[in-house]
Amino acid sequence: EVQLVESGGGLVQPGGSLSLSCAVSGFTFSNYWMHWVRQSPGKGLVWVSRINSDGSSATYADSVKGRFTISRDNAKNTLFLQMNNLRAEDTAIYYCARAFAQCTGGSCLDSWGQGTLVTVSS
């Protein structure tokens, strides 16, 4: 069974940092592109970042570029999101998601974690 479990969320002050993890199981992690998607309370989904299967390429939404870094450890089946200089508007549930193998260019997400809540507030 495919499983993705996020952790690392919590309360952080504006300007602070937080590191999220996503532990996966049930599939060969190193074969898949992975994404982070966030959802502010009561709001819609927003794409955050994507990393390719070997970690050599990453892309970001403009809203987080230069502040967030996506990475992965294929030996430990874990995806990461390092978030720096956090702002109130970064408050959201952060989901990790797997790119569907049958979808061209990793452009759709077939497995999602349950999310971890990040709250940025003083």
Partner 1 sequence: QSALTQPASVSGSPGQSITISCTGTSNDVGDYNLVSWYQQHPGKAPKLMVYEGTRRPSGVSNRFSGSKSANTASLTIFGLLPEDEADYYCCSHAGSSTWVFGGGTKLTVL
Residue type, 95: Y
Q: Smallest distance, Å, CB 81 to partner 1? A: 16
Per-residue burial over 44-74, b if 16 or more Cβ lie within 10 Å, else e, is eeebbbbbebebeeeebeeebeeebbbebee
Q: Which of 12, 18, 22, 37 binds partner 1 (CB under 8 A)?
A: 37
Kindly write out the interface string for residues 101-120 of this chain, putting x where it contacts partner 1 by CB under 8 A and - elsewhere.
-xxxx-xxxx-xxxx-----
**Counting runs of H as helices and runs of E as strands, what totals does the chain give?**
0, 11
Kindly write out the interface string for residues 43-72 of this chain, putting x where it contacts partner 1 by CB under 8 A and - elsewhere.
-xxxx--x------x-xxxxx---------
Q: If binding is defined by CB under 8 A, does position 2 make contact with partner 1?
A: no
Q: Nearer Cβ to partner 1, position 23 or 46?
A: 46
**How far apart are the C-alpha atoms of 9 and 115, rounded to whole Å?**
9
Q: If binding is defined by CB under 8 A, does position 17 make contact with partner 1?
A: no
